[in-house]
Chain A
Amino acid sequence: MSEITLSELEKQYGETTAVEDVSVEINDGELLCLLGPSGSGKSTTLRMIAGLETPTDGEISIGEDDVTDRPAYERNTSTVFQDWALFPHKSVLENVAFGLKMRDVPAEEREERARAMLERVQMGSYDDEDPTNLSGGQKQRVALARSLAVNPDVLLLDEPLSNLDKRLREDMQIELREIHEDLEETFVHVTHDQDEAFTLADRIGIMADGNLVQVGSPNEVYENPKNRFIEGFLGDTNFIDGEVDRVTAETVHVETELGREIVLPTDEEPDIDEGAELTLSLRPEILSIDQPVSAQSDGGQTVLADGSTTNAVIGTVENVLYRGSTVRYSVSSNGTTMFVERTGASTDALTAGDDIRIDWNGADVLAFRADGTRVSL
């Protein structure tokens, strides 16, 4: 069994704290993505699991064993590095066989196993190549084969795809996913790319400022972000500032910088006071656009039959940005700029200067307090 338990892991470099407090249990056979911006401590956490850094405080165990003080070469973990770190003076085959050599596997057997592993990552014909002559994608495959050749309990991936171009990166994500499903080993994958995390992960751990902020399935994390940082990090969204005007049993009324009151339906009375400052997140996917039907229909909100509310604002298209399959419009409303998206297939393209109406369902709006925490509605 190779589940990993991190408890109260901390790492300091002199005065700076790279990892403040990370506790998580990673299940056997799980693929966990540590996702966060650079400097959030995700790579340091991974390196502590690998044994390449010694924690300042806290414990790491893999399976039954406490490995906190065990050096990297005595842990059965294997790391794929961001720059792949292939041994430049050894051939591709020697690279892949290196871990087996360190485990004193006889020369013939390790060559055989290394070849098999190269075949598996479709690099079988490159065994004699000098790794410095390979392309990024090929190096990545060799690095992966090298790490897998030792049959690790845990495979650690430190942004191995970040140096590849977009197309290759997407192919490799799928391949990694397949390899993981094949091997049923525990993988910990570090990335700063949300799309990659959503594609690969069984669970995502989001890190910020040395802390593990939220751990959950991709769906859970996306639908229920714990705080404003995660909401902003997981995708582009419109943050609208406002102030709570009135709280009732069913609704929260927020006076916003859009110049309109936005109404949020609630199930129970939320933990928020009147007059408190709130930030609302209006994700582009909940916004729909229409050309204004008439001059009267100038926004506001309507309570629908099922008790949910729709809200709408009127704005002027300022900019049109074609992004391949989607078109992004920046829209100015009451001096605040928001963006909305439509798929490219939509009819009657809008141009700058058009007046439009933006609608959304109040139940889809997420609200965050001034300290970043989420208001459960």
Chain B
Amino acid sequence: MSERNSVLPSSLASAWEPIADQSRSNRALLLMAPLIVFELLVFVVPFFILLRISFAEESSDLVYAEGTWTLQAYVDVFTSGLLRSIVGYSFMLGIAVTLVTVVIAIFYAYAIWRSDGLIKSLLLFSVVLPLLTTLVIRTYAFQPLLSPTGTVNEILLSLGIINSSIQIVPSTVGVVIGQTYIVLPYAVLAIYSVMATMDWHVVEAARDLGASRPRSVLEVVVPQVMPGIIVASVISFAWSVGAYAAPDLLSNSISFAMQVEDLMLSGLRYPLAAAFSVVMLVLMLVCIGVLFAVLNRFGGDFELA
């Protein structure tokens, strides 16, 4: 064995030495260690610092006063009417986008699942390509399309469907469209990856037993892809509540993300920004927990009204 090892470059072999001597579980731990350390240092620790700063006093010359403890930032968050309305708007956006996205994503994933050949590749391509394109591009392209002088309005006007141009952008409807476009690829793939493992015969069995096509999807496909739907909902919801680019470019409203950026970069009010983020994060976790519990219930048999 040692003779064979010597065939290897000596540097490689010596790097392996300390690992090779370890037991199996220690070896596994050594391999996982860098990742664990990375997650601790770049993810867990930063969040504790965020939490700590949210309890610090503001300072006029520095971004926050070190070593101080106060609940003032939280009091400000809860008493500010502006911040409260921003929270409301962000959550409304999150819920609207999630509903639209999940319904469309189930449909689109089903279409991919049921198609084959070129159509299937094309549909998959249409999901993967936007996913690999920056959110900035994905968002601004809606301006020339949806603005009052944009393509959609021109088409509708020339077809005589509308008399005067409608303002889709900037408006909340425009944000919902833009944000849906941003999260839809992730939602479709999350659902499709579960659906692809499903047995088509199960749907056939439901039709064979008298379920119409929409009903067979509702009764058999939806409960089975529930894990994918849950992932899709969580992603859609979390990212839409925290949406930044779409509200900024496509509406005149202010979302949580825009406000927190303003607090951080323009206002330099770190404790307030941190507290606002903590509050949003907690509220989102609560919502996700509720969402999870509700959707999980639909994993089994359910009655239609």
Contacts and interface: CB of A to CB of B under 8 A. Distances in A.
A316 interface: no
Given A85-B199, A94-B301, A102-B215, A150 B209 contact: yes
Interface string B184-216: 000000000000000101101111111111011
Interface string A83-109: 101111111001000110011000100
Contacts of B209: 73, 78, 98-99, 102, 146-147, 150
B220 to A, nearest CB: 6
B184 to A, nearest CB: 25
Category for how many chain B residues contact A: 20 to 34
A94 B219 CA distance: 11
A50 B209 CA distance: 10
A48 B288 CA distance: 45
Contact of A51 (B201, B208, B224): B208
A191 interface: no
Range class of the A interface residue count = 20 to 34
A281 interface: no
A71 B212 CA distance: 9
A73 B202 contact: no
B223 interface: yes
A103 B305 CA distance: 15
Q: Which of B206, B207, B219 gathers the greatest number of chain A CB atoms within 10 Å?
A: B207
Contacts of A102: 206, 209-211, 215
B205 A85 contact: yes
A83 B201 contact: yes
Contacts of B205: 79, 81, 85-87, 146
Contacts of B216: 73
Choose among B205, B211, B216 the residue with the greatest number of A CB atoms under 10 Å from its CB: B205
B206 A87 contact: yes
Nearest to B212: A73
Interface string B219-230: 110011010000
A357 B80 CA distance: 107
Given A79-B205, A81-B205, A83-B201, A90 B212 contact: no
A91 B219 CA distance: 13
Interface string A69-82: 00111100111011
Given A89-B223, A89-B224, A52 B208 contact: yes
A98 B208 contact: no
Nearest to B203: A85
Contacts of A147: 209
A72 B207 contact: yes
Contacts of B208: 50-52, 72-73, 77-79
A85 B210 contact: no
B207 A73 contact: yes
B300 interface: yes
A85 B301 contact: no
Contacts of A82: 201
Contact of B210 (A52, A86, A87, A103): A103
A47 B247 CA distance: 51
Interface centre among B202, B210, B300 (most CB of A within 10 A): B210
B189 to A, nearest CB: 22
B299 interface: yes
Interface string B282-305: 000000000000000001110100
B204 A72 contact: yes
Contact of A88 (B202, B206, B210, B211): B202
Interface in A40-64: 50-52
A91 B299 CA distance: 12
A83 B199 contact: yes
A296 B212 CA distance: 77
Interface string B224-241: 101000000000000000
Contact of A150 (B207, B210, B215, B226): B210
A147 B206 CA distance: 10
B106 to A, nearest CB: 16
A37 to B, nearest CB: 21
A90 B301 CA distance: 6
Given A51-B208, A73-B212, A88 B201 contact: no
Contacts of B299: 89
A150 B205 CA distance: 12
Contacts of A73: 207-213, 216
Contacts of B213: 71, 73
A99 B211 CA distance: 8
A79 B203 CA distance: 12
Given A73-B210, A102-B209, A146-B209, A52 B202 contact: no
B210 A99 contact: yes
B204 A85 contact: yes
Nearest to A74: B210
A87 B221 CA distance: 10
Contacts of B301: 89-91, 94
Given A87-B220, A91-B300, 18 more contacts: A51-B208, A52-B208, A73-B207, A73-B213, A74-B210, A79-B204, A85-B201, A85-B204, A87-B206, A88-B202, A88-B224, A89-B223, A89-B224, A94-B301, A99-B210, A102-B209, A107-B303, A147-B209
Interface of A: 50-52, 71-74, 77-79, 81-83, 85-91, 94, 98-99, 102-103, 107, 146-147, 150
Interface of B: 199, 201-202, 204-213, 215-216, 219-220, 223-224, 226, 299-301, 303
25 contacts: A50-B208, A51-B208, A52-B204, A52-B207, A52-B208, A71-B213, A73-B207, A73-B213, A73-B216, A74-B210, A77-B208, A79-B208, A85-B201, A85-B202, A90-B300, A91-B300, A94-B300, A94-B301, A98-B219, A102-B209, A102-B211, A103-B210, A146-B205, A150-B209, A150-B210
Closest 3 CB pairs of A and B: A102-B210, A99-B209, A85-B201
